[in-house]
Each structure stands twice: as structure tokens, then as C-alpha cells.
Amino acid sequence: MKIEGIILDWAGTTVDYGCFAPVQVFMDIFKEMGIPLTMEEVRVPMGQLKRDHIRSLLQMPRIEASFQVKFGRSYTEADIDELHDRFEPRLLSILPQYGKPNPHVVETVHQLRQQGLKIGATTGYTSTMLSIVEKAAKKYGYEPDHWVTPDLVMDKGRPYPYMIYENMKQLGLRHHAQVVKVGDTISDIQEANSAGVWAIGIVKGSSMLGLTEAEAEHLSPEEERHNIAAVSKNYMEAGAHAVIKDMSQLPAMIEQINERLMNKELPYANPHQ
């Protein structure tokens, strides 16, 4: 038994270094409502379907209390609708700028394909949003074999496993233990755990790290080690089986997982869960 397929996240994992496109829009629409958010708050639910992301933000104790003070009532589904209606067109307008693949993505995907692996993808974007990102990424040479968005699985996005299952079906992947999911958020790890596949977190370019490429490049060696350790700890505590610094380390990590499979170790018995 060996790994047959890789399911990759989009923003923060394969494109949009630092996952900044949705972050800025979330911050803008809440600020206009009179409830400024911190970047750290915005990033906590990252990777969820964007409507679910808005709901998760409104459920955070500080934000929920701020809404109560501002409007004298609790938020409703109508408020979520209104925020999402503001969010979507703004994100769509800027997404063409955020399709450039992150470092090592194009080369690594080519290498994995040469080894016979299938490449799938999941996301927190809707199909309308991802169609824009996918088109932009393709111009740079990155295109997965198949991708699935939450609205294609009845809006059951992360942490539900259905986007991974749909990728497996379309790509002809037979066994959960032969599939690896790579992502840059806690919701990516939760999605992988829900599906029973191997969960790998990525550090550089991730929403978890939250730095631009220039900021990441200017870290001192000590700062880089500290950040990698902190992000890795969060991934592992969330149930990741492994963490890679960047995409160039993925092929070697897959080899390590293949060795674990040879020893009859399966992803379902995750010691970190």
C-alpha cells in the first residue's frame, strides 16, 4: 500500500502566499459595520466556507459582545446574509491578483505527477471564486487534476470530509490511507481527520504563519525557527500527522508516509488526536 493521491488546499498552501485575499475583505466589511477585527481573529476560522467563516467570527465572545453593544441585540441569519453579500463581490474583484503559485508548488506538483500521483484540491472558496483563482494559477503552470468547493457538496465544507471524498471519487482513489491532505489552516487538518486521510500542515506561505513572502524572507534564523516551531505545534495539536516547512519537502514526507504504511500504520490511529 502506497500513497496514490494528494489533496491540496488553495489560498495559503498553493497560491496567495500568506492567504491575504480573504483576510483583508473580512476586516474591511466588519470595520464598516463598526466592529473592527484583528488579523488574528480573522485567521482563526480560515479555510471554512466563507459564509461559515462569517458565522464563526460572530460567535467569538469578543465580537459577539461588540455586536450586542453596537446594535443592542444578538446577530441573526439576516446579518450573516448582509455581511456575505458585502464580502463576495469585493473578494471576486481582487481574486485575479491572487492566483500566483507559492514557491516550489509548480515543480513539486510536476514531480509528484511524474511519480504517478493524482492531484486534487479543496478550498473554502465557492466555485465562482475558485474558478477565478484556478484560471489565474493555470497561467503560471499550476493546475490540479480535480478540485471541489463546498457548494459542490451541498455547502458541507470543512471540517466535513465530503470535498475530500468527492476528489477521491473523481480521481479514482480507492483507500483513505492512500490519500494525503496538505493545508495551511486548522480547518484543513480537521477536514483530513474527518475523512480519515493523512493530514499535513505547511508553514511557509500559510495563514497560520500570516506573513507576506518578503516578511518571511527577512526573518532571522532564530525567528524562523521559533515561528516554524509555534505553527507546527498548533498543527500537531489539531491532529496533523506531519508538518512541512514548504512544498519542496512534500515528496520526502510522502516517502516517509509510505514507509509507515509498509509498517501497517494507518492515519486513523492518530496519536495527536
Binding-site annotation, residues for Mg(2+) = 9, 11, 184
Distances in whole angstroms, Cα of residue 261 to Cα of each of 80, 182, 188? 44, 18, 22
Please indicate whether residue 16 is annotated as part of the active site: no
Q: How far apart are CA 102 and CA 74, in angstroms?
A: 40
Q: How far apart are CA 117 and CA 6, in angstroms?
A: 7
Q: Which of 9, 16, 52, 188 is catalytic?
A: 9
Please indicate whether residue 245 is annotated as part of the active site: no
Q: How far apart are CA 137 and CA 27, in angstroms?
A: 25
Q: Are 240 and 252 in contact (CB under 8 A)?
A: no
Q: How far apart are CA 210 and CA 203, in angstroms?
A: 9
Nearest to 24 by CA among 14, 34, 6, 36: 36
C-alpha cell at 95: 481574486
Which residues make Cβ contacts (< 8 Å) with residue 216, sequence separation at least 6? 17, 18, 204, 205, 209, 224
Q: Which of 2, 28, 31, 50 is catalytic?
A: 50
Question: Would you please indicate which residues are annotated as catalytic (active-site) residues?
Answer: 9, 50
